[in-house]
Amino acid sequence: MGTDWETAMVEVVLQVRGMGCAACVPRVQRAIAGVDGVLQCGVNLATEQATVQVTDSQVLPRLLAAIATAGYGAEPVLTPGVPDGEPVSCPPTLLVGGAVSLLLLVGGLPMMTGLPMPSWFPHWLHHPYVQLVLTLPMQFWVGAPFYAGAWRALGQRTATMDTLVALGTSVAFFYSLLPTFVPEWFTAQGLGTDVYYEISAVVLTLILLGKTLERRARQQTTAALRHLLDLHPKTAQRLCPEGTEEIPLAAVVVGDRLLVRPGTKIPVDGVAISGRSAVDEAMVTGEAMPVLKEAGDEVVGGTINQTGSLVIEATRVGENTFLAQMMRLVAQAQGSKAPIQDVADRITAWFVPMVLLVAIAALGLWLVWHGSVAHALMALVGVLIIACPCALGLATPTSVMVGMGRGATLGVLIKGAEVLQRASDLDWIVLDKTGTLTEGRPRVTEVRVLDERLSAAELLGAIASLEHHSEHPIAMAVRHFVAARGIPLQPVTEFAAIAGSGVTGCVAGRRFHGGTARWFGELGLVCPDVPAADKTTLWIACDGQVVGLLQLDDPLKPDAADTLRTLRAMGLTPVLLTGDHRLVAEVIARQVGIDHIYAEMRPDQKLAVIAQLQAAGHRVAMVGDGINDAPALAQADVGIALGTGTDVAIAASDITLLRGDLPGIVTALQLARATLGNIRQNLFLSFIYNVLGIPIAAGILYPLTGWLLHPIVAGAAMALSSVSVVLNALRLQKMTPKLKRL
């Protein structure tokens, strides 16, 4: 959450109190959207949080006031996506309700079963006055939140689940008062003197039980964010003239020097100043083996220092740390809305009014057709109680939350629910070569000087001086190769990097170029044929003449072939898209089984290829890691960036693979399909529950079976409907990617 209220644009997350069902969500959204300065807002029923983007630095009080006017409470939260408060415990009202309901059920057995009871049976529990006394605290204490919610909805000229519950239980309770106090009149009218207090009490108890179980289950949907939150240590050991002092993590500032002892977590992102230790970075890289850290190495907050002491200098603190950024991305993604949810939203908007009409119709039909007040009452209360808009409202967000959280634990960051839906429906996948299919750590295997006026040392010194200003993997390979031979670098002027082509600049008064044969052809430079054309060739020119070349080898990643095999088995057509020489691309493609190859592509040409595939009707994913991949990543239906790549590529992508491994592609796409499948299951469960449950409660089966759904059974079904949706979503926590191996 943004906390600087003086900035031009702020994102604030609010915990909203009092939302009882999906019908409350649009009311809260309308209240927020009506505040001046609100740019965008989203309300998540699963976390009961609202995410609001605003421009006005004074908007927070107005936001809170608007939500209060709508009948709800709200307050800012520090951890988006993680509901505030302690773990859900059993409320006193549920304990009392359970005890009273049990007594009322026992007392109602003679009426409900129609069977004679033995002499030891406590018949006094069936007395109307006893049942009334037992039900009074249930109706007006246990049921108070439902009455309050119904009253708020009435004030807003709308209706919610609280309205249905309050109406249904009130009908059963207040109807029972008549035969309790004027039984003679009921008998004179030919009506039974049965009372239905147990319906009101038991239904309230069952719904309260269902809401408690639902909230407990919903807390599990935020397990991934809570795990990330737990990775943060609470304090840090700051070095000071007197030694060390323990300070809260929030007090650490950039530049502080911190002591990290063995067995403790590194508090913030930083650089090791002294010491030597093995650090467990599994949460970032997924690698089980610890990584050796010594002076000059970067460390990530939340990773575990294992063997030795380190002194680090803080470089990123607070919301700028890797862990905080990851939490923010996951929270934003979990709070986003999938397009498939629009169907449920449209139905929810009309749900409660339609249920009220069906309930009234059922009451009237039973009175006219059957003439039974008892049956009419049972149908009315049953319809009001069994209807559950909550299941519809929770169907999508709970699956999204669990799916996004599971992705975070597997090293996959998905930037929104809409991305999940698009990623589940892909049919082509385009992959970059260098750093994606290959290790991205090329090795110089040959140096060839084509102009005897230059020595190998001069050639290498010049090209390494140019590549010193580039972040491309080939540049890194050249720098390492030259540094290992002790050749000094020289100053460079007029440097320029041409994405997808190469680099140029002046070294010692001479203009050098280093890049691809295609680029040299565009410059009018002729590159001679060379052997070993299946390797990457870096051509070098000096003052308009081709003077040498370097050949490099970049091995495939170990899981490349298995990953491509799995993607094909998933129905995806793979494409290799690279700026490298075609012969090099063909060798790589043969090794991993790719038939479609686009080689010697500039960034704009890569984008054009993606657009061409989309124009042909394909749904395309692009996988890359470099700056030259950024336009194609942005153009694709789903851009997938390796977390080991450049910040530009990651920013342009929809999915980031934190661990930079190819199986992460399979993980992301299988997770997307599993999550969307889970959403569809939840929507089906909630739709079928209401489509079947409401007519059955109204008595549609009575002509065939002579059986009418008891309101207590309706209450139990209603209580379990939302729980079943959440429990089904929680199955995604066990989702495991499957890689197809030989």
Enzyme catalytic residues: 432
DSSP string, 108-158: HHHHHH-PPPPTTS-GGGGSHHHHHHHHHHIIIIITHHHHHHHHHHHHTT-
The pair of three-digit structure tokens given for residue 99, joined into one six-digit string: 């005890």
SS3 380: helix
Of 524, 454, 447, 438, the C-alpha closest to 482 is 447
Specify burial of residue 167 (Cβ count, 10 A radius: 0-12, 13-18, 19+).
buried
The pair of three-digit structure tokens given for residue 405, joined into one six-digit string: 């959280």
Greatest C-alpha distance within the chain: 123
Rounded distance, CA 137 to CA 98, Å? Answer: 12
The pair of three-digit structure tokens given for residue 276, joined into one six-digit string: 């030597």
Rounded distance, CA 389 to CA 542, Å? Answer: 73
Which residues, 6 or more positions from 583, have their beta carbon under 8 angstroms from its beta carbon?
533, 534
Rounded distance, CA 128 to CA 130, Å? Answer: 5
Place of tokens 């009334």: 132
The pair of three-digit structure tokens given for residue 366, joined into one six-digit string: 């039973």
Rounded distance, CA 412 to CA 410, Å? Answer: 6
Q: What is the DSSP letter of 453?
A: T
First to last CA, the chain: 47
Of 175, 314, 137, the C-alpha closest to 238 is 314
Pairing status of strand 38-44 against strand 49-54: antiparallel
Inter-residue contact 381 to 360 (CB < 8 Å): no
Give me the sign of the Cα torsion angle 627, 632, 635, 640: negative
Q: What is the DSSP letter of 88?
A: P
